[in-house]
Amino acid sequence: MRKLVLTVFWTSLLLTAASFGGALHGLGDSLAVFRHIWAVALALSSLLLLRGHLRLAGLGIGAVVLLTAPLANGLVRDAAAGAGRYTLYQKNLRYDGKDRQAIIDDILTANPDFVTLQEISFANREILRALAERYPNSLLCEFENVGSVAILSRFALVEGSQTCVEEGPAAIKVITPDGPVWAVALHLLWPYPFDQRGQVDRIVKNLGFLDAPVVLGGDFNMVAWSDTMRRIEAATGSRHAGKTIFTFRLNEAPFFRLPIDHVLVPSGRGRLERRPLAGSDHYGILLSFDL
C-alpha cells in the first residue's frame, strides 16, 4: 500500500508539473485540461503520506494549494462584476443537434448583442435563418477542419469588414455606442495528439487586421488556464472573462464535464451564466460585460 501511495504521489506530481508545459509542447495543455484530477490525486496521496513521509506530504499539500488557488478563483471571479452594457451568447450547436427550436428560443430570450456559433451543419442553418431578422449583420465561414462558424451582431456593420480567417475564426467589425469593435467567433481543434497547437500557430499569424477592441466567443476545446488561451488573448488584445463554467458534457456522462467554451473581452471582466444544452453536448454561455 505504501508503494502504491508513493506511486500515485509522484505520478500526480509529475503530471501536474508537466501540465504547465503547454508553451513547450501541446501535451502540456492536454494535461492541463485534467489538472483538477491531478490535484485530487495529489491531495489524497499527500494526506496518506502524513505519517512517515512528512516532507513529501508537505510538498504535495503545498503544490495542491498553489494548483487549486487559480481554479478556485475562477469559480468566483465574476462575483463583483456588474450587469454590463453588452452581452455575448456563445454556443457550439453540435452538428447533429436534436432541438434547434430550443436553441433559437433561448437566444431570442437572452436577446444578446453578439452571438457566436460553431458546428453549423446544413441542418443547423435553420437557426441562422430564424435569427436573421433580429441579427441582420452576420457572417458564416465554412471551414473544412472545424466545420462552419458564424458571428452575428445587432450593431451596424462596417462595410467590407467580413473576414474568414484560415483555420477557424469568423470576424466582423461593427459600430457600437462605444465605437468600433471586432466581433469574432472561434472553433479550435482538440488538443494534442490532435493539431490544436498547429492551428493556433497559423491563426495568430493572420490576426493583424484586428485594429479595434475585440470581443470573442468560442469553443476552444481547451481550458482557460492553458497556453492556448494565453496566446489567443495576446493575439486579440482581449482577456478571458467570467467564472469557470463546465460547458461540455460527454454523452450525457454526469461526471465528465469540461470548461472549454469561453468569451474574451477587452476588460477581461464580466458576469457569466450557463444556458441550456438544448440538444447539444455543449451548454450555451452568456456573458454580460463592458468594453
* pLDDT tens per residue across span 4-24: 777 777 787 788 878 888 888
The dihedrals phi and psi of 78, each to the nearest 5 degrees, come to: -100, 15
**Burial of residue 98 (number of CB atoms within 10 Å: 0-12, 13-18, 19+):** exposed
CA distance 220 to 204: 14
DSSP state of 212: S
pLDDT for 52 beyond 70: no
Mind listing the pLDDT tens digit for each residue in 221-246?
999 989 999 999 999 999 999 988 89
C-alpha cell at position 156? 451596424
Residues of the chain with CATH 3.60.10.10: 86-289
Beta strands at 179-187 and 214-219: parallel, antiparallel or unpaired: parallel
* CATH no. for 86-289: 3.60.10.10
Q: In this predicted model, which residue has the larger pLDDT, 52 or 289?
A: 289
pTM over 0.95: no
